[in-house]
Chains A and B, each alone.
Chain A
């Protein structure tokens, strides 16, 4: 470099290098900095040589990691020096010491610009390098046009143009808004005609940046890119210095293919054909060779080509060729190449349907599972997981199981999780699934998360014919001497539930089962003991005829645990003992578990979670992201208690479509439902695992009031709708509506009531769809928007929405599209005009099809009377004349209402307020009375003032006298009835909704039949 003759600098550097330790170095540097400061402060000024020398020293000190916060002025001033050595250090030091926001840079802009537009190409290069390195906004603003001119200039040497392209790229990346690229498509196309590969490579980098921002404008560049690729692939006109190990400029090849991936597709058939020829050539021409560098280069090209092939959705033949090539890769000894092969195969799996071809390499992939390199093993596992389907699931899962015992501990959890998911997803028959999971628990108990065994329990519970098999199987396992605790949990649960099905087999008498289970009690932790206790209780219950000896044994255990320090165990022991002593009632409460609602396997959720971090940044992925990003992501709302959601369907149908209700336990539906497990589980929303747990343990953990009330209500509902107690003694049966195989999430009636009071919220939700609503009222017009959000990755088809308006509402409803794309949201505006007062409610008949499921729901729309009210405060001097002028029926109605839900006065005021009826305080001298006013809007009545007076009796809060007055008789009546309904039955989470048509007095609060088991239970607990 230009160090010649700068003795001071080299002495300084050798001093620094000779320093024994950090401290000496620091002292030397502080001394030197003092010297430099002194020199820079010299009045006489410095010669250019001295200035250069000290700036070099400063740069060196800065590079060693010390703060240099002075001398920038000198540095910048060197840029304008006329000679190369000074200019060079000026540019280099400036680009190192100053960042883009430094004010000193402004001083340099003019000089830099002069250098760029000057004739001296060495200076041009220096300036371009510095601008590219700093790349600030001000540089971009003032220099970008000059740099652009330089790039296109025909008089410049390729060296300068190369630098100009890269400089422009950097400016564009930093400030895409400042650099004007309008009309650059033609110029880029022109640049791509360049013969010089250096300029071409730089321009291609620029093109990639431009295209990634906006590919539309650069269609004209596409054929040129293909042409460049062709030129390189055929090795035409590639100078020696641009070939790397015989490969013509691999960098340019990769960049070109990357640029091509930003175009969605290639339409022109001839271009497409040429491109595929080139790709074919790349695919054919790549092989594994000895030389590492050559391998690296050719593989980089190859993998980019693969990405492009995947992106373009090439024909199957080409895909199979790719897979064959990758198959060769994964057979190679060299681990890096094998890793890349596996990784790319996994990627191919994601994008295109080449599973069949990949399957041919299954054996090889399984071998990779035993590779000494852990990263290869992980890739192989991912690939196996991805390529698994019904045909090969058995092989793969068995292979994984076999591998599990030899796998290293870091992988076991993931391995077992994946094996469990595959077994569930692709089980050819359910007994096989049970076999696999039990084997899994047996082999890798420590690595089995609770989710896995929860899942198997759900399966067994939901499949009647599986139950004896599972029970027999777990008995086999638990018979072994050393059993993992998870196995004990599963066994205890399954044997507790279903061991009676085995009773006739040898060695399976309740007593024997009990003794097998009880052997394990001493070895398990406190989380398992409750499950064992439940199992004992169930075994005892199933023992027919009752066995006195067994009973005394089990009672003794319960007795023992009655004083256990663990609250859960203690409570169970106490309750089971009490239940057992009740005798026959035991039968009802400890009946078989009801079937679990279908939901997405939490295992898959976990797997998705763990996969999320292996993101890859290919253009393909980018494309996939773009697709999802324009769809709305709907937040899933989980019910607080998994059990409640079963009720809501029944409730809704009770209100709206009585004909559809069935009170019997429709076993055939259940059967059909359980048959769909495999396919359904993939797309459900994910319930949290806590929820799952509460499901499994809930109905028998007789924990407290919430569970009990849920059950009792549940029965109350079925009692109501059927008129008779359809609940037989043996089971607590979930109410199923036979047309809907989909369970809504949350309570529909509750959601409706909530929406009556507020303007926006969720109207309905199930695993596939969420319907939101937003209302906006203007007088007698209400503008409603329905938001239909598809929660899945598959489209919802045959979507129909019909609104059945009541006579008093005029509705304009825009058409709902037939299909809702995956993860998208559709908005349907709805105009409602209120013609006259009425309490009738509009109903939305909504249906859609998902897979083979036809789902139909009828939903009440919250366009109720109070939506057309406008609260108004009426002063006393206006109120009383009005009140007096409206005298007597039908304009003024009075009624004594009994059976009012007792509530304090302020609460009642709040309630009225939430219905937009405004309380006017101080009008009535009696503090126990409420006076309120509101305005009602409809087409027939226009704006109509309504006055309300409610007189309450402090002694008896269940009755009150209500007086209503308005200028319209029907309005007075309807509003009175409306308020009455609301006062009598306030919708709460646990009370069934009132039927709007039914007279309120006919709506009894659910009475619990005395022989109801849940009632006994509740009585026991209270």
Chain B
């Protein structure tokens, strides 16, 4: 296990220390001053999350209005450190009830210190699983010995949780209604040339699961992925069904998934933890269905005028629709006046990001709204630098659509008691970095 941190600081945006925890004494206590001086007060904040000042490395990450800074002086594993931060934030969020910001931290100092003591030891990450930590670090106050109500909760068996075969699930769970929710969330990353040819495109997806199941159920998930289907057809010695199969790259599973069975039978079978968790992650690079096509034409008319025409075409089913579509069209810094004509949605100029922002709340499939704008530029002193034309950026969410075409074929639940379960499946596709050059 590599070292991940010598010290952790939580700072607010002004650079005040909210909480700090030193795990090793190879960094000084005033390291945060260096961070403030050399990173926060320069323009480099946000360009590179790893910086070296003096003999120390600073890894930092901003989450809402808090900077989480890790300081190490040895050769630490950066990926491990960032993973630790991400997991720690997820942990805090599950303790605070979803919010992680300056106020939440100020309200939970003691709890955070307790957690920080638990999740890292001498710079080595420890157990970060909320389910398990919640057994020991509770949010209830210390019960007074004089309080009448005796604790009816069983004393958690620590050794079983940490060393047992199914460390992630408690025994003896009982639900009146046994339900499983599956969310398939995909984000599309795209870089397209102005001519419309795809330069780079991939989809990162994850399957999130929420289980409310009694006992120790065994679950089996079937997807329309290539390996799984081939294996199945081999086993059943019948030709694979026609239809689209998906090739998944870089699949990673939650620790509950039985990998030996996956390797031998290519099926995803697991005993799920209670509550919400991320079952698997994957990536797809081929056969991506792009939900939108963007056709921009931007003309510079002389030194002080520009004409922008953008056509956005939705290429998913006509019955579906996208939500929260935002198209950001960059314009030069010296933009002074803008006038728009849009066929749907609303558009305006945002000087703080130097973009024309076109928002369409509900975007049905198989339509092509257009924006045409006239931009007037102010003449400047400086020699007119040729404008670099940054790419157009797009944000959206398309429910019930997967850019990869991934489908859940089945989800089987098997439990000793043989109860019936209700399964819910949702699909959603979001924009990752969806960029079109113009």
Using CB atoms and an 8 Å cutoff, list the residues of chain A in contact with chain B: 20-24, 26-28, 30-35, 37-38, 40-42, 69-73, 102, 104
Contact = CB atoms under 8 A, between A and B. Distances in A.
B6 interface: no
B351 A20 contact: no
10 contacts: A21-B40, A22-B41, A24-B13, A26-B352, A27-B352, A34-B352, A37-B335, A41-B336, A70-B381, A71-B378
Given A21-B14, A41-B376, A34 B349 contact: yes
* Nearest 6 Cβ contacts at the A-B interface: A34-B351, A41-B336, A37-B336, A30-B352, A69-B380, A21-B13
Interface in B298-344: 334-337
B381 A23 contact: no
B351 A31 contact: yes
B382 interface: yes
A32 B351 CA distance: 8
A23 B381 CA distance: 26
A70 B334 contact: yes
Given A30-B352, A31-B352, A37-B337, 20 more contacts: A21-B15, A21-B40, A22-B40, A22-B41, A22-B45, A23-B13, A23-B45, A28-B352, A30-B354, A32-B351, A34-B335, A37-B351, A38-B336, A40-B378, A41-B336, A41-B337, A41-B378, A69-B381, A71-B378, A72-B381
Contacts, number: 60
A34 B40 CA distance: 26
Interface of B: 13-15, 40-41, 45, 334-337, 349-354, 376, 378-382
Nearest to A39: B336
Nearest to A71: B378
A51 to B, nearest CB: 14
A71 B379 CA distance: 8
A229 to B, nearest CB: 48
B349 to A, nearest CB: 7
A679 to B, nearest CB: 55
B386 to A, nearest CB: 15
A102 B380 CA distance: 12
A40 B334 CA distance: 11
Contact of B336 (A40, A72, A104): A40
Contacts of B354: 30
B269 to A, nearest CB: 48
B337 A38 contact: yes
- Pick from B15, B40, B379 the residue with the most CB of A within 10 Å: B379
Contacts of A20: 13-14
Chief secondary structure at chain B's binding surface: loop
Contacts of A102: 381
B41 A70 contact: no
Contacts of A40: 336, 378
Nearest to A40: B378
A70 B335 CA distance: 11
A30 B14 CA distance: 20
A35 B381 contact: no
A30 B349 CA distance: 12
Contacts of B336: 34, 37-38, 40-41
B379 A70 contact: yes
Contacts of B334: 37, 69-70
A21 B36 CA distance: 12
Contacts of A35: 351
A37 B352 CA distance: 13
B35 to A, nearest CB: 14
Contacts of B353: 30
B379 to A, nearest CB: 7
Contacts of B337: 37-38, 41-42
B376 to A, nearest CB: 5
A33 B333 CA distance: 10
Contacts of A72: 381
A458 to B, nearest CB: 48
Contacts of B350: 31, 34
B381 to A, nearest CB: 5
Contacts of A21: 13-15, 40
Nearest to B65: A20
Given A40-B336, A41-B336, A41-B376, A33 B381 contact: no
Contacts of A32: 351
A26 B354 CA distance: 12
A208 to B, nearest CB: 36
A33 to B, nearest CB: 6
Contacts of B382: 69
Contacts of A34: 335-336, 349-352
A265 B45 CA distance: 62
A37 B351 CA distance: 10
B328 to A, nearest CB: 15
A70 B378 contact: yes
A618 to B, nearest CB: 39
A36 B353 CA distance: 16
Given A21-B13, A38-B337, A30 B378 contact: no
A30 to B, nearest CB: 4
A35 B349 CA distance: 10
A38 B378 CA distance: 8
A30 B378 CA distance: 15
A34 B335 CA distance: 7
Contacts of A23: 13, 45
Contacts of A22: 40-41, 45
B376 A33 contact: no
Contacts of B349: 34
- Pick from A32, A34, A38, A73 the residue with the most CB of B within 10 Å: A34
B378 A37 contact: yes
A33 B13 CA distance: 24
Contacts of B380: 69-70
B43 to A, nearest CB: 8
Contacts of B378: 37, 40-41, 70-71
Nearest to B41: A22
B394 to A, nearest CB: 22
A585 B235 CA distance: 104
A219 B148 CA distance: 107
A322 to B, nearest CB: 48
A33 B336 CA distance: 9
A24 B13 CA distance: 10
A22 B334 CA distance: 21
B319 to A, nearest CB: 40
Contacts of B381: 69-70, 72, 102, 104
Nearest to A41: B336
Nearest to B349: A34
Nearest to B42: A22
Nearest to A26: B352
A26 B45 CA distance: 13
A558 to B, nearest CB: 49
A21 B15 CA distance: 9
Contacts of A27: 352
A41 B338 CA distance: 10
Nearest to A29: B352
A537 B170 CA distance: 91
Nearest to A33: B351
A903 to B, nearest CB: 64
- Pick from B335, B353, B381 the residue with the most CB of A within 10 Å: B381
Contacts of A73: 379
A534 B380 CA distance: 78
A304 to B, nearest CB: 42
B60 to A, nearest CB: 14
A982 to B, nearest CB: 66
Contacts of A24: 13
A429 to B, nearest CB: 56
Contacts of A28: 352
A766 B381 CA distance: 62
A486 to B, nearest CB: 36
Nearest to B354: A30
A23 B334 CA distance: 20
Contacts of A41: 336-337, 376, 378
A153 to B, nearest CB: 36
